[in-house]
């Protein structure tokens, strides 16, 4: 475990040198939140009403956190990196290293994701307080649960993206698979809470990655309850276990296809 923590630390230190690059992304983040704030303010013309159990403030804070999780993960970059490693044969260099490639990819990317998440949280809190003020009935007790759930959400998301990137062992371009996954998370996970979807879609979403990667932490932020803590953490731990298992299986199966030709 120590070697993975070292990988995490060294990537964190590297990314600290490029903090400026991360903060540039704030502009897009601010614009997205600003547009959604305007949209929800328009839809909640009567600001005291609840839609599907959420007030206007809760909806905007929900989007603020889900977008933080989205930007922190930067999945496209990770998927491209894994895919390139497989296609270029770089992955072969990891075979004789004293670590597992999945662990290496996870911890090295988390070094960046944690820093991005931290910086985007500062930006998100500032823009949220500026546009809406503090969250109604927010209890500080919820904070450690939200942080832990957000970290778990990012870890699960990163492992799932690694799985998608590893499909490059069999298909030329894993991009389309990532597209589908990212749209699932973006459309169903970042914009609306699951309660906005009715019937069978709501049930499917409760079992989908949306529940553990975006909805869970954001639900704890805007509508905290200990029952939600139990449900969300349980789901996250099960998903984490399954995601790790699947990624190891894909890697083991895929790595047999590598032909090392020297050079």
Partner 1 sequence: MLMVVKNQIRCTLLALKYGIMKEMLNRTSFISNVLFMILNNASMLIQWLVLYSLKDNIGGYSFKEVMLLWGLAASTYGVSRAFFASAFKLSDTINKGKLDAFLVQPKSVLLNAITTHVSSSAFGDIIFGFAMVFFYGFSLRVFLLFFLFTVTGGLILVSIAIILGSLAFFLENSEIISDNGNNLMVHFATYPDGIFKGVTKILLFTLVPVGLANYLPIQAIIEFNITKIVFVLLVTSFIVFLANLVFKIGLKKYASTNLMSARV
Binding stretches for partner 1 (CB under 8 A): 24, 27-28, 31-32, 34-35, 38-39, 41-43, 51, 172-173, 175-176, 179-180, 183, 186-188, 191-192, 196-197
Q: 221 — alpha (psi -120 to 50), left (phi > 0) or beta?
A: alpha
Asked if 203 contacts 215 with a C-beta cutoff of 8 angstroms, the reply is no
Q: How far is the CB of 239 from partner 1 (least distance, A)?
A: 23
Q: 138 — alpha (psi -120 to 50), left (phi > 0) or beta?
A: beta
Give the nearer residue to partner 1 in terms of CB position, either 61 or 192.
Answer: 192
Please tell me the total number of residues recorded for the chain in this structure: 263
Give the nearer residue to partner 1 in terms of CB position, either 5 or 31.
Answer: 31
Q: How far is the CB of 175 from partner 1 (least distance, A)?
A: 8
Asked if 70 contacts 186 with a C-beta cutoff of 8 angstroms, the reply is yes
Q: How far is the CB of 32 from partner 1 (least distance, A)?
A: 7
Give the nearer residue to partner 1 in terms of CB position, either 34 or 226.
Answer: 34
Cα gap 57→61, rounded to integer Å: 6
Nearest alpha-carbon partner for 166 in 258, 246, 250: 250
Q: How many CB atoms lie within 10 A of CB 95?
A: 10
Q: How far is the CB of 98 from partner 1 (least distance, A)?
A: 37
DSSP secondary structure of 59-74: HHHHHHHHHHHHHHH-
Q: How far is the CB of 24 from partner 1 (least distance, A)?
A: 5
Give the nearer residue to partner 1 in terms of CB position, either 32 or 244.
Answer: 32
In three-state secondary structure terms, 263 is coil
Q: How far is the CB of 185 from partner 1 (least distance, A)?
A: 11
Q: How far is the CB of 170 from partner 1 (least distance, A)?
A: 15
Give the nearer residue to partner 1 in terms of CB position, either 20 or 262.
Answer: 20
Give the nearer residue to partner 1 in terms of CB position, either 24 or 140.
Answer: 24
DSSP secondary structure of 91-132: GGGGTTSSS-HHHHHHHHHHHHHHHHHHHHHHHHHHHHHHHT
Provide CB contacts within 8 A for 106, sequence distance 6+: 4, 155, 158, 159, 162
Query: Sign of the CA dihedral 227, 231, 234, 240?
Result: negative
Q: How far is the CB of 4 from partner 1 (least distance, A)?
A: 33
């Amino acid at each position: 475990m120590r070697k993975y923590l070292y990988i995490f630390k060294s990537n964190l230190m590297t990314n600290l040198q490029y903090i400026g690059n991360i903060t540039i992304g704030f502009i897009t983040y601010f614009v997205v939140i600003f547009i959604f704030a305007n949209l929800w303010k328009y839809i909640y013309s009567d600001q005291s009403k609840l839609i599907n159990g959420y007030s206007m403030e809760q909806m905007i804070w929900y989007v603020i956190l889900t977008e933080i999780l989205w930007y922190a993960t930067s999945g496209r970059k990770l998927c491209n990196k894994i895919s390139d490693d497989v296609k270029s044969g770089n992955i072969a260099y990891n075979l004789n290293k004293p670590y597992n490639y999945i662990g290496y990819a996870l911890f090295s990317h988390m070094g960046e994701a944690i820093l991005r998440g931290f910086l985007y949280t500062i930006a998100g809190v500032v823009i949220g307080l500026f546009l809406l003020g503090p969250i109604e009935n927010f209890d500080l007790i919820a904070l450690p649960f939200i942080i832990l759930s957000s970290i778990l959400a990012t870890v699960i998301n990163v492992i799932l993206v690694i799985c998608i990137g590893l499909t490059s062992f069999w298909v030329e371009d894993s991009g389309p698979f990532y597209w589908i996954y990212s749209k699932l998370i973006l459309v169903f996970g970042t914009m609306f809470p699951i309660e906005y979807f009715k019937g069978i879609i709501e049930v499917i979403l409760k079992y989908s990655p949306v529940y553990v990667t975006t909805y869970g932490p954001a639900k704890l932020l805007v509508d905290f309850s200990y029952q939600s803590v139990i449900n969300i953490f349980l789901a996250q731990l099960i998903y984490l276990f399954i995601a790790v298992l699947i990624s190891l299986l894909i890697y083991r199966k895929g790595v047999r296809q590598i032909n090392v030709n020297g050079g």
